[in-house]
Amino acid sequence: MAILTIRDALNQALREELLRDENVFIMGEEVAEYDGAYKVTRGLWKEFGDKRVVDTPITELGFAAVGVGAAMAGLRPVIEFMTFNFSILAADQIINHAAKMLYMSNGQFKVPIVFRGPNGSAYQVSSQHSQALEAFYANFPGLKVVMPSTAADAKGLLKSAIRDDNPVVFLEQERMYGLKGEVPEDDDFTIPLGVADVKREGTDCTIVARSMTVTLALQAAEQMQKDYDVSVEVVDPRTIKPLDIDTIVKSVKKTNRLIVVEESHAFASVGAEISHQVTEHAFDYLDAPVKRISCAEAPMPYAKNLEELALPDVPKIIAAIKEVCYL
């Protein structure tokens, strides 16, 4: 096992897939000579050249369209958005073309494309750069939506996304790029899309968390074990669409309680969907109402103290565990 940051794990995945398949190429703002806004593409332009790692103007709609067309022609583009907030400018191409082309062409055109970049909050980048967009993209049939929380997951899931014949929205978290973890030293290491992972075994309460909130959930779980001898299970879906609801339901049937922690807003969220499906499939097993912890229902503040108040944190998760466990 190698110890890598999430940033370097993603870089390794991209390099290995560029080497493996000559149809793979990367396109986006500052991905080439500048090595990427967050250095995920560091060194790739020097190694693979202008045709495989392509700098673009600040035109998300334009280069997303080029990517969709290239995918329809048989290539495998990886489109980087400097932040997924900017992907909103390319939503027509992602939603109306990439997501629908296989269906509307009666299977004649596959669209093997990955749209990737940082999603959710960063550090004091304010309202227009701090949105969590997973529920938005997961709402549209034809798109797969992936959210890694560890270095190993980042590498394995990205490689699977690039090899997939469907459009994949791959959402990273800017706050997590520097987090380190063990990554298998295997050029062919992949993690299948649509398979959740139990990050921590437990018996008293299930927390379903994703991306940045997985780390928070694990910290809260350790604290509850230490202070109250409460055993918390942490499930990471890893893929939002398709959602591995079976693993989540199995966990809830074991622990009889569910907390969903997410960085996005609560209304019409992935957490709302998980809550509904668990209620539908495991209602008789629940010993407490499902509890959700989400971002504040407001545009993200710029001020550091207000930003911290708006986001999920360990104390909020601990309070929720106490509530559902009647402590």
Same-domain pairing of 23 and 50? yes
Across the chain, which distance is largest between two alpha carbons, in Å?
Answer: 60
CATH number of the domain to which 307 belongs: 3.40.50.920
Residue 189 included in any domain: no
Q: How far is CA 169 from CA 17, 86, 96, 112, 307, in A?
A: 17, 13, 14, 11, 26
Do 117 and 208 lie in a common domain?
no
**CATH code of 46's domain:** 3.40.50.970
In a domain, 91, yes or no: yes
Same domain, 31 and 87: yes
**Separation in Å, CA 257 to CA 233, 260, 311:** 10, 10, 23
User: Do 37 and 74 fall within a single domain?
Assistant: yes
pLDDT tens string, the chain, 327 residues long: the values are 899 999 999 999 999 999 999 999 999 999 999 999 999 999 999 999 999 999 999 999 999 999 999 999 999 999 999 999 999 999 999 999 999 999 999 999 999 999 999 999 999 999 999 999 999 999 999 999 999 999 999 999 999 999 999 999 999 999 999 999 999 999 899 999 999 999 999 999 999 999 999 999 999 999 999 999 999 999 999 999 999 999 999 999 999 999 999 999 999 999 999 999 999 999 999 999 999 999 999 999 999 999 999 999 999 999 999 999 999
- Domain of residue 283 covers 197-324
Number of compact structural domains in the chain = 2
Q: Last residue of some domain: 183, 216, 247?
A: 183
Give yes or no: residues 88 and 206 share one domain: no
**Domain boundary residue among 131, 161, 183?**
183
> If we measure between CA atoms, which residue out of 22, 18, 7 comes closest to residue 44?
18
What pLDDT sits at residue 281?
Answer: 97
């500048």: which residue's tokens?
A: 34
* pTM (predicted TM-score): 0.96
Q: Which residue has the tokens 């298998």?
A: 184
Residue 253 in any domain: the answer is yes
On whether both 133 and 219 belong to a single domain, the answer is: no
Q: Which two tokens stand for residue 146?
A: 């992936």
Q: Which of 219, 211, 205 is nearest to 262 (CA)?
A: 211
Q: Tokens for 50, please give them.
A: 């202008």
Catalytic residue annotation:
60, 129
Structure tokens at 193: 């899309």
Look at residue 78 and tell me if it is in a domain.
yes
